[in-house]
């Protein structure tokens, strides 16, 4: 792949999915990485293993690699659903119109940072109440 193809892939992705698509993919990957990292730390030192392995630790046995991939794949699908919910909530709020429209000058507004943080906090708190 050359730089032209890389550029073309980015442009095709943006033309099809826009900033919303990027945010969906980013949040899904962020949630998956966060879960793997946090779960590892919460399992404590008794099961101190690589975060990539934590998901297939069953009892005292390490399961087959295909099971790991299947489980991580399923978990990534769950993360995508949650990423969708995050994006839906952000889109409902007019304060983030500039983010989705790529209005870059407005993204430098410190107020937007505060609003983003508050909104994300509200979404996560809402999830806690739902489960």
Partner 1 sequence: MGHSKSTPSIAKNKGFRPELTRKKAAEEHADILKEKNAAQTMDYACRCILPMLPNGSAKIPVYYTVRYSVQFLWDTQQYGVDYAAKNLFKGVIETITKEQIIPMVTKEIWSRVDDEILMSGANKALAKVAEEALSETLATIVEKGIDAL
Which residues form the interface with partner 1 (CB under 8 A)? 1-3, 5-17, 19, 21-26, 29-35, 37-39, 42-44, 54-59, 63, 67, 71, 74-75, 77-79, 81-82, 99, 102, 104, 107, 110-111, 113-114, 116-117, 120-121, 124-125, 127-128, 130-131
Shortest distance in whole angstroms from residue 24 CB to partner 1:
7
Q: How many Cβ atoms sit within 10 Å of the Cβ of residue 28?
A: 21
For partner 1, which is the closer residue by CB, 92 or 104? Answer: 104
For partner 1, which is the closer residue by CB, 88 or 124? Answer: 124
29 by Cβ neighbours in 10 Å (0-12 / 13-18 / 19+) ranks as: middle
Residue 81 and residue 72: Cα distance in Å, rounded? 14
**Crossing angle for the helix pair 110-130 and 65-92, nearest 10 degrees?**
120
């Amino acid at each position: 792949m050359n730089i032209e193809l890389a550029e073309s892939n980015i442009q095709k992705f943006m033309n099809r999915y826009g900033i919303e698509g990027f945010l969906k993919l980013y949040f899904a990957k962020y949630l998956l990485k966060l879960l793997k990292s946090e779960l590892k730390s919460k399992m404590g030192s008794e099961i101190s293993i690589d975060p990539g392995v934590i998901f297939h630790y069953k009892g005292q046995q390490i399961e087959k690699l295909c099971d790991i991939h299947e489980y991580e794949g399923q978990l990534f699908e769950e993360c995508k659903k949650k990423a969708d919910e995050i994006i839906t909530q952000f889109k409902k709020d007019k304060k983030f119109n500039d983010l989705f429209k790529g209005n870059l000058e407005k993204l430098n507004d410190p107020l937007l940072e505060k609003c983003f943080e508050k909104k994300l906090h509200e979404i996560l708190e809402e999830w806690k109440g739902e489960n």
